[in-house]
């Protein structure tokens, strides 16, 4: 495979620990692959940048830090306060990165094997290669064709040249800004509304979602074959911790939780503890839920 494999993460300072884990797992399981990793943020601290670079140094990996204005998505982040502004940074990829294709990965992932096969997937006429997000039934609200399939945007092999040619970036941002009342997952809903089914499905092993381990998943959803589910459960390549409960939470019960803690030992965060055992979290947990909701509403009004 000629040239470097282009990987993109979009984060803020709060997610540097997790992106370091994702990077280590990617690099350790793909030692024969030269990488170029783009990290998009609104500005990382010097220490956080050093931590990211320390992870890449033992490998054939070039890290490019891209800083964007934090003011770009203030209105969208205000409309959806549970999603940080970093959620939208991936939408700027076509403007910021000059490549034919990139593999975008969320930061709450662990790579558990070689990704060469995924990166070499042919696009055909499609905008992305991705996997289905089960249970979607809001085609009408998002203006999608009834038979269009909704994908999970946490792993996207992006046909960047076609995104640029067809102006996907502007169309998605415009859709999000003009349809805030129908959007549940801001960037993901916007991408699906605009791409409208013009994407290529790849095996579930490339984006194993936490929901597949839920009770009666096979009975509720038929979007994955039994063999595909078995492969994703037993031999996943990209493990995506998609639920609200993450492996850095004490009560998390994800079957592959231990992998997160395996790879964190190879990062500057090797002495990290569960985030819900940290003093600030414990203090927040003592505040009644109804009061927390009122505070959030007040902050939203004043933003």
Q: What is the mean pLDDT of residues 58-84?
A: 76
Least confident of 85-89, 197-201, 203-207, 278-282: 278-282
In this prediction, residue 180 carries a pLDDT of 84
Question: How far is CA 285 from each of CA 83, 146, 258, 275, 289, rounded to the nearest angstrom?
Answer: 20, 42, 25, 12, 8
The arithmetic mean of pLDDT across residues 96-110, rounded, is 97
- pLDDT of residue 19 exceeding 90, the answer is yes
| Tens of pLDDT, residues 188-228 | 999 999 999 999 999 999 999 999 999 999 999 999 999 99
Q: How far apart are CA 64 and CA 8, in angstroms?
A: 10
What's the length of the chain? Answer: 303
**Domains identified in the chain and CATH numbers:** 5-272 (3.90.550.10)
Is residue 2 very low, low, confident or very high in pLDDT (cuts 50, 70, 90)?
Answer: low
Q: Say what the pTM is.
A: 0.88
Beta bridge mates, 240: 109, 209
Residue 251 burial by Cβ neighbours in a 10 Å radius (0-12, 13-18, 19+): exposed
Rounded to whole angstroms, how far apart are CA atoms 175 and 178?
A: 5
Mean pLDDT over all residues of the chain?
A: 89
């Amino acid at each position: 495979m000629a040239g470097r494999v282009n990987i993109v993460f979009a984060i803020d300072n709060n997610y540097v620990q997790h992106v370091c884990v994702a990077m280590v797992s990617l690099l350790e399981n793909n030692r024969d692959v030269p990488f170029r990793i783009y990290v998009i943020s609104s500005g990382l601290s010097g220490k956080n940048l050093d931590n990211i670079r320390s992870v890449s140094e033992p490998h054939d990996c070039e890290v490019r830090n891209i800083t964007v204005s934090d003011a770009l998505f203030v209105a969208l982040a205000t409309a959806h306060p549970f999603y940080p502004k970093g959620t939208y940074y991936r939408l700027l990829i076509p403007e910021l990165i000059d490549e034919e294709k990139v593999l975008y990965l969320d930061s709450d992932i662990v790579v558990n094997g070689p990704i060469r096969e995924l990166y070499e997937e042919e696009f055909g006429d499609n905008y992305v290669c991705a996997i289905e997000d089960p249970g979607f039934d809001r085609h009408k609200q998002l203006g999608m064709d009834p038979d269009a399939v909704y994908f999970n945007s946490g792993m996207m092999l992006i046909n960047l040249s076609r995104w640029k040619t067809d102006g996907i970036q502007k169309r998605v941002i415009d859709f999000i800004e003009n349809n805030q009342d129908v959007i549940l997952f801001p960037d993901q809903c916007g991408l699906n509304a605009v791409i409208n089914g013009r994407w290529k499905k790849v095996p579930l092993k490339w984006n194993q979602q936490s929901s597949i381990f839920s009770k009666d998943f096979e009975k509720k959803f038929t979007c994955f074959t039994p063999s595909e589910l078995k492969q994703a459960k037993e031999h996943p390549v990209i493990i995506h911790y998609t639920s609200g409960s993450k492996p850095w939470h004490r009560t998390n019960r994800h079957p592959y939780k231990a992998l997160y803690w395996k790879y964190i030992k190879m990062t500057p965060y090797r002495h990290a503890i569960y985030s819900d055992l940290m003093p600030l979290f414990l203090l927040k947990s003592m505040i009644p839920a109804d009061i927390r909701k009122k505070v959030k509403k007040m902050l939203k009004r004043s933003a």
